[in-house]
Amino acid sequence: KVNIADPARGMLTYEKEAFLDYWASQENAKHGNVGTVLVLEPTAEFYKLEGEKENKLTWTFVSQYLYQSKGKLAQVLLSLTVTFCLQLMFPFLTETMVDTGINTKNMQYITLVLIAQLMLTISTTVIDFIRTRLEIKISNRITLSVLSDFWIKLTRLPVSFYETHQTGDVMQRIGDNHTVQAFLTGQAFGTIFSLVNFVVYSIILINYNFKLFVIFTIGNMLYLGWIQLFLRIQRRLNYESFNLSAKENNATLQLVQGMQEIRLNNAEQIKRWEWENIQVGSFRLNIKGLNYSQLQSAGATLINGGKNIVITFTVAQMVVTGQLTFGAMLAVQYVIGQLSGPVSSFLGMVQSYQNAKISLERLNEIYELDDEEPIDQNMLKYLPPSKTLKFENLTFSYPGAGNDPVLRDINLEIPEGKITAIVGVSGSGKTTLIKLLLKIYDQYLGDIKVGEGNFRNYSPSFWRRQCGAVLQDGFVFNDSIAKNIAVGDQNIDMERLIQSCHVANILSFIETLPNGFNTQLGGDGVGISQGQRQR
């Protein structure tokens, strides 16, 4: 077995084979499969450095979403408080019904108390009904803002981000948003209420009998300790399942999108096996999770049940020795029943709090990335008089360890107003050059000049608005031809559209289509040829 300390996930243990599978990438005649180890040791200098400033996505930040719906939230809190106060009367009603009503055989009194109880039940039901509707409204609104903020962040990241992150990973992080939102709207609230519930009923219990309260508290401590034991394991499972789900998303996408290729190459079985292997992995993980959660809840139930029996025994003893009246015993039982609700909802809360926290950490990995165009940075948004492009000693290698420079020491001038074609063998860096000119990458050495200005100072979004580009593997949206050509324009300028189609030599083709520019393309539209797609 191999132990790995991962700062994000804690201590991990891998089987030797699984570890070698990923780590040992080279074959060695003498030692079999080997990998590379990088050993780093901090010098004294390291500890003098100030750490990087973190700009973390914290709960305070997240709770601003709650703040947006503060009006509705106040109503929910109000309704919770009212329900709670109404429920507070139940134990006392029960006590007087038994001690006064039954003991004095006063039927009228009993009926009165029961009618009061009925009224209370009806009121709490109505209030619950209204509250649930409010909560759904709040939760919808928060989901919307949480997700659209995430999309805003995703669209502000440098384009190169998408080259290093797989689709499945990004999709899985959208799931993380849901976890955080569900915690905010569901659990967080329920828990505040449960806590209040817990405190007030505890006070009532202390009032009835202090000894009972002590037994109750000891039981709960044990219960909490038991839950705590499992949190670490759950954290690990959470990360494992995130990675697996991201892989599963990727595999599913590949199966759907690559079906034609798969069929052509007779790769159905292999690709399906790959998918099934991931499924087997997540099946194992589910079983593992199930084992732990069953163990956890079995232990919790035992502790809880044991505690309740001890309490019942003590109460019965007190009634026998005359320390408590019969009615008070029923009331105490009711109070304890009310207390165990919050306690067990606490179990769920602790877990979903941790899950939400992990999700938040993962979202943070995205939120703490720098925007392509930081707001506080003033970037140029106008073109210089001379628009000649000049490369000076340009060297570029793709981000990632061990990538050799693709472009090395390029000196080149692309004069304004002329047509320049760049020709080269496949893989020589033509597309790379164009991507640099579209500001998709900016970690190049040397300089690019626009006239006299430095290319780095131009705002990427402004610059791209001045550029028209069709890359090798353009993407066709599920939309009409017109909207596919004028991507990003709300109102399409027909004259420009026709002009550009004319230039691209595709106008006559579009005119032969029955729906012309309104023809739907993409997944649920008509197909077009590769050449037509590029044009």
Q: Which residues bind ligand ATP (CB under 6 A)?
A: 163, 398, 403, 406, 424, 426-432, 472
Contact of residue 163 among ligand ATP, Mg ion, none (CB under 5-8 Å per partner type) = ligand ATP
Q: What's the DSSP call for residue 35?
A: -
Tell the smallest beta-carbon distance from residue 470 to Mg ion (Å): 12
- Do 158 and 399 contact (CB within 8 A), yes or no? no
Residue 100 is a binding residue for Mg ion (CB under 5 A) = no
CB environment 453-471: b (16+ within 10 A), e (fewer)? bebeebbbeebbeeeeeee
Nearer to ligand ATP, 49 or 423 (CB): 423
Nearer to ligand ATP, 333 or 431 (CB): 431
Half-sphere exposure of 193 (CA within 13 A, CB side): 23
Contact of residue 432 among ligand ATP, Mg ion, none (CB under 5-8 Å per partner type) = ligand ATP
Tell the smallest beta-carbon distance from residue 396 to ligand ATP (Å): 9
Question: What's the CA gap between 193 and 189, in Å, rounded?
Answer: 6
Contact of residue 406 among ligand ATP, Mg ion, none (CB under 5-8 Å per partner type) = ligand ATP
Nearer to ligand ATP, 215 or 412 (CB): 412
Nearer to Mg ion, 8 or 471 (CB): 471
The strand pairing partners of 394, in sequence order, are 410
Contact of residue 429 among Mg ion, ligand ATP, none (CB under 5-8 Å per partner type) = ligand ATP
Nearer to ligand ATP, 330 or 394 (CB): 394
CB environment 72-81: b (16+ within 10 A), e (fewer)? ebeebbebbe
Q: What are phi and psi of 385, to 5 degrees?
A: -60, -45
Contact of residue 123 among ligand ATP, Mg ion, none (CB under 5-8 Å per partner type) = none
Could you identify the residue written with the tokens 């400033």? 53
Contact of residue 428 among Mg ion, ligand ATP, none (CB under 5-8 Å per partner type) = ligand ATP
Q: What are phi and psi of 244, to 5 degrees?
A: -65, -45
Tell the smallest beta-carbon distance from residue 414 to ligand ATP (Å): 16
Specify burial of residue 145 (Cβ count, 10 A radius: 0-12, 13-18, 19+): middle
- At 93, which amino acid appears? L
- Do 83 and 197 contact (CB within 8 A), yes or no? no
Contact of residue 14 among Mg ion, ligand ATP, none (CB under 5-8 Å per partner type) = none
Contact of residue 291 among Mg ion, ligand ATP, none (CB under 5-8 Å per partner type) = none
- Do 177 and 147 contact (CB within 8 A), yes or no? yes
Tell the smallest beta-carbon distance from residue 28 to ligand ATP (Å): 26
Nearer to ligand ATP, 405 or 453 (CB): 405
CA distances from 491 to 78, 140, 465, 506, 518 (A): 47, 31, 16, 21, 14
Question: What's the CA gap between 200 and 341, in Å, rounded?
Answer: 13
Tell the smallest beta-carbon distance from residue 373 to ligand ATP (Å): 22
Length of the chain: 535
Tell the smallest beta-carbon distance from residue 431 to Mg ion (Å): 3
Nearer to ligand ATP, 307 or 535 (CB): 535
Question: What's the CA gap between 365 and 369, in Å, rounded?
Answer: 7
Nearer to Mg ion, 325 or 431 (CB): 431
Nearer to ligand ATP, 322 or 427 (CB): 427
Could you identify the residue written with the tokens 């290698």? 397
Tell the smallest beta-carbon distance from residue 397 to ligand ATP (Å): 8
- Do 508 and 471 contact (CB within 8 A), yes or no? no
Element (H, E) at 395: strand 389-396
Nearer to ligand ATP, 89 or 422 (CB): 422
Print the binding letters for residues 393-432 with Mg ion: x by CB under 5 A, - otherwise: --------------------------------------x-
Tell the smallest beta-carbon distance from residue 464 to ligand ATP (Å): 19
Tell the smallest beta-carbon distance from residue 23 to ligand ATP (Å): 22
Tell the smallest beta-carbon distance from residue 435 to ligand ATP (Å): 7
**CA nearest neighbour of 57 among 352, 376, 358, 368:** 368
Site for Mg ion in 131-190 (CB under 5 A): none
The site that binds Mg ion (CB under 5 A) totals a number of residues, namely 1
Contact of residue 427 among Mg ion, ligand ATP, none (CB under 5-8 Å per partner type) = ligand ATP
- Nearby residues of 182 by Cβ (< 8 Å), 6 or more positions away: 139, 352, 356
Nearer to Mg ion, 434 or 498 (CB): 434
Q: What are phi and psi of 448, to 5 degrees?
A: -120, 135
Nearer to Mg ion, 217 or 431 (CB): 431
Tell the smallest beta-carbon distance from residue 285 to Mg ion (Å): 40
Tell the smallest beta-carbon distance from residue 423 to ligand ATP (Å): 9
Element (H, E) at 462: helix 460-465
- Nearby residues of 471 by Cβ (< 8 Å), 6 or more positions away: 431, 434, 435
Q: Which residue is nearest to Mg ion (CB)?
A: 431
Residues at the contact surface with Mg ion, assessed by CB under 5 A: 431
